[in-house]
Amino acid sequence: MKKILVVVALAMFSFANAQKKGSILVMGSVSYNSQKRSNIPGDNTYNYFGFSPKVGYQFHENWAAGIESGVSTVKDKIPNSYSNKTNAFSVGGFLRYTKTLNQTFAAYADLGMGYQNTKHTYNNEAINSSTIDKGNGFYTNLTPAIFINVHNGFGLNFNIGGLEYGTLNYDGDSGETTSKNFNFTFGQSFSVGVSKNF
């Protein structure tokens, strides 16, 4: 809580306008999650890493457009039992509408869409077998967020979820399947990113 108050206090003393027509927007977020649980037949370890950069052009006081991408890795393992590994990649474009509330705060919404793929590897160590499934598809999402201008166009981005829809067509050792996902995560997730307008 103290860290949040410090960030808000710093933001209150900055008076630079973050969004300027003709500026370049660079932003991104890094996610990491590691868990270890004691189970039978062994300890379960779970690790997640994700990186999502964006680069855009502020072509209007309220509008920006650009490219976005994401990479992530998930590893889930119980020694001498099984291990799962999923690598995911996405690349696409986004359109952002920003409404400046004052010189420190702004609200914005990103509409993104593009291509995504994933590779899932499952190893059954008990019987020494493995399967590999690869999927390709597309995604679209709508993400509202709040921007806090910390200093001279550099700021923090906070969002609490949004709308996501995606499809993946799998082809691999488990056969051909199609996966369709619709997620409404507004109020159910939280993330923080950083951005800079040049």
Average pLDDT over every residue of 166-172 = 92
pLDDT of amino acid 152: 81
pLDDT of amino acid 196: 82
In 3D, which of 144, 108, 155 has the Cα closest to residue 12?
Answer: 155
H/E element, 68: strand 63-78
Q: Is the pLDDT of residue 98 over 70?
A: yes
pLDDT digits (tens, 9 = 90+) for 61-92: 899 999 999 999 999 988 778 889 999 999 99
What proportion of the chain, given as a percentage, has pLDDT over 70? 88
In 3D, which of 109, 163, 174, 108 has the Cα closest to residue 140?
Answer: 163
